[in-house]
Structure 1
Amino acid sequence: MLPSPAPPLLRRIPPEAWVGLAWCVAAAYPAVLLGGSARYHGGAAAHGGLAFTLADTAVAFTGAALVRRLPVLSVALLLVAAYTETDGWAANTQVPPAALLAVYTALGVITATRPRRSSRAAFALVAAFLVLHIGLVNGATVGIFTGTHLGSADGAALLALLAWLVGRSLRQGREHARALSARAAAEAVTAERLRIAREMHDTVAHTIGIVALQAGAARRVIDSRPERARQALGEIEAAGRETLAGLRRMLVALRQADGGAPDVLPQGLADLDRLAGATTAAGVRVEVRRRGEQGPLPPEIDLSAYRIIQESVTNVLRHADVRDCVVSVDRRTAGEVSVEITDRGRGRGGGADRGAGFGLAGLRERVALLHGEFTAGPLPGGGFRVAARLPIPVGVDG
């Protein structure tokens, strides 16, 4: 199994570290934190000095550590740390927006990664804190409502709303990406199931048709012509072995987990003569006509061309009520291979019923996946025709 690529560096940093870093950035500028009203005594802030800041930092780091496990408590601790660090209880002092940088970061992380209930609770807590804080400040004005000015706490509220919206946008983008990935995975599984179903049908249906005809012939002549019955049983054995080999090739291909080449070659147009011989032995003579240079083909083109012929010959064998058919493989046009299978039989429904079931539908899917053209239908003078044109990708060698 191939190793998964490492995520980008920014994604390898845990959310707790981002919140802690945001607190450190805010705490590194006490003049900004205190809104320009800080008073220093020997390098320490008047609210309590370095020891007070270290205590607030410990509370903030505790909140950062809980951002994923207990998101609401994390936001509460960060609010307490920012409120006390900026002397939020002092009269006429609003909490500056920069002081809540860690709160914004935590709110964005929670909204982007945690359940919606936690996100709403965290945002409500921040909004309630700011509203109460504005109400406790003497002479404070709420600029976004009065139109007079935008106070510090007002700006903090706007930044908190912005952080919540950014987190919500990131969350929606991640959910959309997950939905697209799940849908792509489901489509890939469905396509693989259809491919396996087509392979199973094309591998088994032809052999079952031959086995049924040969078994019926053996049953009718087992008493009068035992040598003919033995010959029919031999054809049944050969067809069964060929089908088992085909199933083994399919299972080997499905088990290839490293993308390497399987230890057995897939079927292709090189097996066409053997297919014609087995069908002829079952009672329908197959005339193979090859036109143009019959060189190697890409594996998927080679296998699909063979499966189209195999399924069509099987339909002739089962439904056409005819003694022969013609298979043509045309390589005269550069960049494509064309196959055509025709018969002059009528069978049940004059051949019109041969489009029912899974066989021709599977062939249409095969050709569509290879961007080719497929037609199947009765001929004007009686009989049935199946034709497909498969383009060969430019620069792809067999």
Structure 2
Amino acid sequence: MTRTKAVAWAGGACYLLMVGLLVGVAPRVPGTVLGVGALLAVSLLVGLVRCMPLPALALALFGSTAVVVGTPSSLHRSLAVSYQGQFLSFLAADLVLGFLVAHCARRVSVVAVSVSFVVQFLVIGLFAQGDSLSVNGLIALLAMVASCIAGLLRRERREHAVALRSQEVAEAVTAERLRIARELHDMVAHSIGIIAIQAGVGSRVIQTQPAEAREALRAIEATSRETLSGLRRTLVSLRQAERDVTAPKQSPLTPAPGLADVERLAAATADAGVRVDVRRTGADRPLPADIDLSAYRIVQEALTNVVRHAGTGRCRVAIDHGDEELFVEVVDEGRGATGHGSAHGFGLIGMRERVALLGGRLSTGPRPEGGYRVAARLPLPAPVVVPVEAR
């Protein structure tokens, strides 16, 4: 930062040197040339404007005033001058003023505009004559107003961009929180439901049927380990922003579940007392990760509801791989709306959110013939066809 300031002040010194040269050649060149030269010389203040806009404005006002005061037409007021081009040098100060209005605090901007107004119109009033006074005064006023308006527009645009970025960040954080909430709910609710059922079975038969109790304990152990693995994967995903921090090498994580794991999910559900009949139709092909995971979570949540609320011993899962969409359906013959109509759960809400994010459709509700049905249609991206060149 010190080096940047040093370079900025060096630019300011060069600007003063250029102003001195312009004043030195003033007797031999027209006033318009002096004004344009001062306007071009203000480019040397770019570094100072970025670091210290107030000193930059002070130097610009000083240099512009020096050009106006140091010209012969200004020193000899007896000469009738209809137009004095050296007053164009104040446009340089107006450019700096516009930058200051755009980037500095409003109170500082008001003070800067007031000081610039007083200096410019005091110099114009003292060194302009006749028609030149009104012409230069009007031009100076319009130039100052234009620079201030440009600065205000720039400020509003920057503030609007900051507000949009803040809104985008807030929406991204909210979306990520909802995603994590869905993942935790779908993963933990299913596992805890199975663990609770197996624990109840084990406690009832531990005295009379030790072998069945041991099987229940094994199911609890397997489900617990799988849940812990999923929680570890979710927690690691929360720390993706810290990848640049040096950490010891960890063992690879289990990949996210998908429809290929439905049979394993059905086996775990069967251990909880609900037999699951899985039917697959259509040409099976690799699915995008988000669609594959969402379809799995929908099936998982639907089976969790069957285990908890349906009061039935079997259900059916249908998976249809279509050309344009993936169809997933879970049907049971249990208690219908009474079993799945919990107003305090987040399972159906999570399923609707997942389907909505993928642009699909979700249908849930009791069946006329009894039981409950959950069906989701998820659009699939068109397969990429690679043209084969003829040899």
Provide the TM-score with structure 1 as the length reference.
Answer: 0.78
Q: What letter is aligned with 2:257? A: Q
**Alpha-carbon distance between aligned partners in 2 of 1:21 and 1:161, rounded to the nearest angstrom:** 28
| Change in CA separation of 1:96 and 1:165 when aligned onto 2, cut-off 3 Å | farther
Q: Give the residue type in structure 2 aligned to 1:389.
A: R
One-letter code aligned to 1:296: P
SS of the residue 2:256 aligns to: coil
Kindly indicate whether the alpha-carbon contact (under 8 Å) linking 1:343 and 1:384 is maintained by their aligned counterparts in 2. yes
The yes-or-no answer on 1:82 pairing with 2:64 is yes
Query: Within 5 Å, which residues of 2 pair with 1:372-383?
Result: 372-383=360-371
Seen in structure 2, the aligned counterparts of structure 1 residues 213 and 142 have a Cα distance that, compared at 3 Å, is farther
1:97 touches 1:159 (CA, 8 Å); kept in 2? no
Q: Which residue of 2 aligns with 1:165?
A: 149
Instruction: For 1:325 and 1:61, locate their aligned partners in 2 and report how far apart those are by CA, in whole Å.
Output: 77
Q: Which residue of 2 aligns with 1:52?
A: none
Identify the residue that residue 213 of structure 2 maps to in structure 1: 229
Shift of 1:68: 5.3
The residue aligned with 1:340 is 329
Give the superposition deviation at 1:112: 1.7
Q: Distance in 1 between matches of 2:323 and 2:19?
A: 73
Q: Answer yes or no: is 1:360 the counterpart of 2:342.
A: no
Code of the residue aligned with 2:330 in structure 1: it is I
Shift of 1:105: 2.1
For 1:180-234, what per-residue CA distance to the aligned partner results, in whole angstroms no more than 9, with x for missing partners?
1111111111111111111111111100000011111112222222222222111
Q: What letter is aligned with 1:187?
A: E
Match of 1:8 in 2: none
Q: Does 1:386 align with 2:374?
A: yes
**Deviation for aligned residue 1:380:** 1.8
Q: How does 1:190-209 map to 2 (within 5 A)?
A: 190-209=174-193
Question: Normalized per residue, which structure has more helix?
Answer: 2
Q: Is the 8 A contact 1:342 1:384 kept in 2?
A: yes
Cα separation, 2, equivalents of 1:295 and 1:335: 12
Determine whether 1:325 maps to 2:319: no
- Percent identity reads 45
Distance of 1:61 and 1:303 partners within structure 2? 58
Distance 2:20 2:259 in 1: 75
Q: Residues 25-50 of structure 1: CA distance to partner in whole angstroms, max 9, x if unpaired?
A: 995995xx99xx9533xx8x99xxxx
Distance across 2 between alignment mates of 1:107 and 1:176: 21
5+ residue gaps, structure 2: 32-37, 245-251, 386-391
User: 1: CA distance between counterparts of 2:45 and 2:282?
Assistant: 77
Distance across 2 between alignment mates of 1:363 and 1:166: 50
Q: Which amino acid aligns with 1:214?
A: Q
Q: Which moved more, 1:105-114 or 1:311-320?
A: 105-114
Q: Is 1:97–1:153's contact at 8 Å kept on the other side of the alignment? A: no
CA distance in 2, matches of 1:306, 1:61: 62
Choose from 189, 200, 205 the match for 1:216.
200
- Letter of the 2:173 partner, please give it: V
- Residues of 2 paired with 1:61 and 1:285: CA distance? 80
1:62/1:245 Cα in 2 relative to 1: closer, same or farther (>3 Å)?
closer
Partner of 1:53: none
* Residues 99, 151 of structure 2: 8 Å contact kept: yes
CA-to-partner distance for each residue in 1:311-354, whole Å, 9 max, x for gaps? 000001001111111110011x312110000111117x623514
Once the two structures are superposed, the pairs formed by residues 35-184 of structure 1 within 5 Å of their partners are 38-40=26-28, 67=49, 71-87=53-69, 90=75, 91=77, 96-137=86-127, 139-140=129-130, 151-184=135-168
> Any conservation in 2 of the 1:83–1:95 contact (CA below 8 Å)?
no
Q: Which residue of 2 aligns with 1:305?
A: 295
Distance (whole Å) between structure 1 residues aligned to residue 275 and residue 190 of structure 2:
15
Say how many residue pairs are matched: 357
Partners of 1:158 and 1:25 lie apart in 2 by 29
Q: Partner amino acid for 2:381? A: P
Contact 1:335 / 1:394 at 8 angstroms: preserved in 2?
yes
2:282 is the alignment partner of 1:292: yes
Residue in 1 aligned with 2:389? none
1:95 positional shift = 7.3
- Residues 139, 97 of structure 1: CA spacing in aligned structure 2 closer, same or farther, 3 A cutoff? closer
Letter of the 1:75 partner, please give it: L
SS at match of 1:377: strand
Q: Which amino acid aligns with 1:298?
A: P
Give ranges in structure 1 of 5+ residues lacking alignment.
Answer: 1-11, 47-55, 144-149
Change (3 A) 1:74 1:154: same
Question: In structure 2, what is the Cα distance between the partners aligned to 1:22 and 1:376?
Answer: 76
**Aligned mates of 2:14, 2:170 — CA distance in 1:** 41
The one-letter amino acid of 1:289's match is R
SS at match of 2:273: coil
Residue-by-residue CA offset, 1:145-199 (whole Å, 9 max, x unaligned): xxxxx51232122112211211221121111111111111111111111111111
What is the CA-CA distance between 1:264 and the residue it aligns to? 3.4
User: Which of residues 369, 375, 396 is equivalent to 2:357?
Assistant: 369
1:54-84 Cα shifts (integer Å, max 9, x gaps): xx99x98998775456544542332222112
Q: Distance in 1 between matches of 2:339 and 2:14?
A: 76
d(CA) in 1 for partners of 2:340, 2:46: 73
Structure 2 residue matching 1:151: 3-state secondary structure: helix
Matched residues in 2 for 1:387 and 1:25: separation?
Answer: 79
CA contact (8 A) 2:102 2:152 kept: yes
Distance 1:249 1:373 in 2: 28
User: Is the Cα contact below 8 Å between 2:276 and 2:314 reproduced in 1?
Assistant: yes
Match of 1:351 among 310, 324, 339: 339
